[in-house]
């Protein structure tokens, strides 16, 4: 362990990026679990990443608005397609989401096959480079986060299927480029799984606390031990979630079994 390598000024922008992601992904993740379409986040995130890869193949500046637009366009098209498939074949929607994920993932592999830096680019999109996020990269995601949080607050249960998919696509677009596909999935699903038996406002508060503590501890440990930040955050967040779930209320069936 190298305590001299712990620089809070390096960690701070990365932590802010994680908190921005959590602001939208925790409530969206609750909706994903409620709707029973758990792998939609992986599919949309992978489609957004495919948009970034396509923009890269066109030799666009990675930090330009054009790349953001390409990722958003790809994610929105994926959301529209998923809306249509859910109307047409609702009984196999989860399977269709899985097919879309694998098609987007393999399309990305094909597009970077002849790029000498293609493997590194794919790794960055999957695992993310959260530790190297800069403050200036947070401006656009912060504006998008504020808009999405506003929509989620005012629409609440009145959100249509199409509206949900579109909002989800836009939220994931920004977060994939900040933290990577793995952390997008973890931020959406793991806190919601941990607090699913809690009730009232405590559920949302605990989900946010799990996410924030997972990002903070993962960033600190990755800096101290020189380990990949994204992967370590996934593990820290998951271990914390398991602890919160274990200490929390039991489902009705489990409670009855415990009483006997």
In a domain? residue 134: yes
Residue 223 within a domain: yes
User: Does residue 258 form part of some domain?
Assistant: no
Band of residue 35 on the pLDDT scale cut at 50, 70, 90:
confident
3-state secondary structure of 54: helix
Domain total of the chain: 1
Residue 260 lies in a domain: no
CA distances from 119 to 46, 169, 179 (A): 15, 25, 17
pLDDT digits (tens, 9 = 90+) for 95-148: 998 999 999 999 999 998 888 777 787 888 888 889 889 998 899 889 989 999
Q: Is residue 257 part of a domain?
A: no
Distance of alpha carbon 154 from alpha carbon 257, whole angstroms: 40
CATH of the domain at 198: 1.10.3470.10
Q: Do the Cβ atoms of 175 and 28 come closer than 8 Å?
A: no
In a domain, 259, yes or no: no
Phi, psi of 62, rounded to the nearest 5 degrees: -55, -25
**Does the pLDDT at position 252 exceed 80?**
no
Rounded to 5 degrees, what are φ and ψ at 202? -60, -35
Query: Does the pLDDT value for residue 189 go beyond 50?
Result: yes
Q: What is the mean pLDDT of residues 61-80?
A: 84
The secondary structure of 66-93, three-state, reads HHHHHHHHHHHHHHHHHHHHHHHCHHHH
Please report the sign of the dihedral spanned by the C-alpha atoms of residue 37, residue 98, residue 78, residue 141: positive
Cα dihedral sign, 51-11-22-24: negative
| Separation CA 41–CA 84 (nearest Å) | 17
DSSP secondary structure letters along 107-137 = HHHHHTTT-TTHHHHHHHHHH--GGG--GGG
Average pLDDT over residues 212-238: 95
Asked, for residue 108, whether it belongs to a domain, the answer is: yes
What is the residue range of 134's domain? Answer: 3-250
Q: Are 43 and 102 in contact (CB under 8 A)?
A: no
Whether residue 256 is contained in a domain is answered as no
């Amino acid at each position: 362990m190298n305590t001299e390598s712990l620089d809070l000024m390096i960690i701070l922008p990365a932590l802010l990026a994680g908190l921005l992601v959590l602001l939208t992904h925790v409530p969206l993740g609750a909706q994903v679990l409620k709707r029973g379409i758990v792998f939609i986040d992986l599919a949309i995130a992978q489609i957004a990443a495919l948009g970034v890869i396509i923009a890269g193949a066109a030799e666009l500046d990675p930090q330009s608005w054009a790349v953001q637009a390409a990722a958003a366009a790809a994610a929105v098209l994926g959301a529209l397609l998923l809306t249509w498939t859910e109307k047409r074949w609702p009984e196999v929607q989860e399977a269709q989401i899985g097919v879309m994920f694998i098609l987007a993932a393999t399309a990305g592999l094909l597009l970077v096959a002849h790029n000498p830096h293609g493997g590194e680019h794919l790794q960055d999109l999957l695992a993310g480079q959260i530790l190297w996020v800069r403050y200036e990269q947070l401006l656009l995601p912060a504006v998008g986060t504020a808009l999405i949080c506003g929509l989620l607050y005012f629409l609440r249960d009145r959100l249509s299927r199409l509206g949900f998919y579109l909002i989800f696509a836009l939220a994931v677009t920004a977060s994939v480029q900040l933290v990577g596909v793995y952390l997008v999935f973890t931020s959406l699903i793991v806190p919601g799984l941990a607090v699913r038996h809690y009730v009232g406002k405590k559920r949302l508060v605990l989900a946010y606390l799990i996410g924030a503590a997972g990002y903070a501890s993962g960033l600190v440990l990755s800096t101290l031990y020189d380990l990949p930040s994204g992967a370590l955050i996934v593990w820290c967040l998951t271990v914390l979630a398991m602890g919160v779930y274990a200490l929390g209320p039991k489902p009705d069936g489990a409670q009855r079994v415990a009483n006997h």
